[in-house]
Structure 1
């Protein structure tokens, strides 16, 4: 079956997306990281609720440099898994952290009060549709389809599964 789903750029039922200018998005990222760093991690992360997504720190290894990289991204929980959108502030290119995870899926995440080792993979098919609907059900999710439609490619949903300790 090849019908366009709500999260593809080909369709949008939510109307016109209002995305802030790129400079504003980048400034917000810098400020968010600064708040986290200045407060020693007391501020900047949050657990998800039934109404809003959580905020976590994602630690990857640079695909070209081999250097440690950190990004603060939104997430939801799906059982033991953590799920995030590889959206780059709704910019068209994929975020560097997603490219890093594609090259090296092993990573770690900082959640409020804990750190976990994880293995990344992209959700596809019915799983992706189900997880997309989870994000759509949260506050601000009514614009999700319109925002996704501004991109030339489908926004990957990244599943971060707990790493097995025997690897």
Structure 2
């Protein structure tokens, strides 16, 4: 296995924010017909998550990259590898019941963080399969990156 670079480089913050803004605009302009995709073995998928804001209580939506683990979906709370926790993850910690839209339709979910240990390591390894520089990117943050599990609920 090739050695991974400890000098992972992420694009500038303005570029990351602009890219996700464009992605959300594509979803909105096409009425949801474009912008979401299922994950493949070599590539993450995208979903739309809606959760109440922890301060306002108003619904907030975001497009996230995710992978699947059986019926569960699992994004990383990485905030473009910036230092702060992403707002959507802070909102889910306050209101764990949320709504996601996938390419094949909507789903109600309940969020939780993967516990430290086997579960987190197994899911992190799955992300590493699609993102070769994952550990280098995570090292840019001073705190561990949460692996968020979105479990189906009725």
TM over 0.5: yes
Larger relative contact order (CA 8 Å, sep ≥ 6): 1
Is 1:78 the counterpart of 2:75? The answer is no
Are 1:150 and 2:136 matched, yes or no? no
1:111 is matched with which residue: 91, 94, 102? Answer: 102
Q: CA RMSD in A?
A: 1.1
- Name which of 63, 79, 92 aligns with 1:101: 92
Gaps of 5+ in 2: none
1:68 aligns to what? Answer: 59
Mapped to 1, the partners of 2:88 and 2:122 lie a distance apart of: 23
2:133 counterpart SS class = helix
- Displacement of 1:29 in angstroms is 1.3
**TM-superposition CA deviations, 1:125-151 (whole Å, max 9, x none):** 11000000000011xx11000000000
Which of 120, 126, 135 is the equivalent residue of 1:134?
Answer: 126
- The gaps in structure 1 that reach 5 residues or longer are 1-11
Partner residue in 2 for 1:9: none
Partner SS, residue 142 of structure 1: coil
Report if the CA contact (8 A) 1:14-1:142 is conserved. no
2: CA distance, partners of 1:39 / 1:13: 38
SS in 2 for 1:137: helix
Separation in structure 1 between the aligned mates of residue 13 and residue 80 of structure 2, nearest angstrom? 8
Which of 101, 112, 123 in structure 2 is aligned with 1:121?
A: 112
Number of the residue aligned with 1:54: 45
- Secondary structure of the equivalent of 1:128? helix
Query: Would you say the 8 A contact 2:37–2:103 is kept in 1?
Result: yes
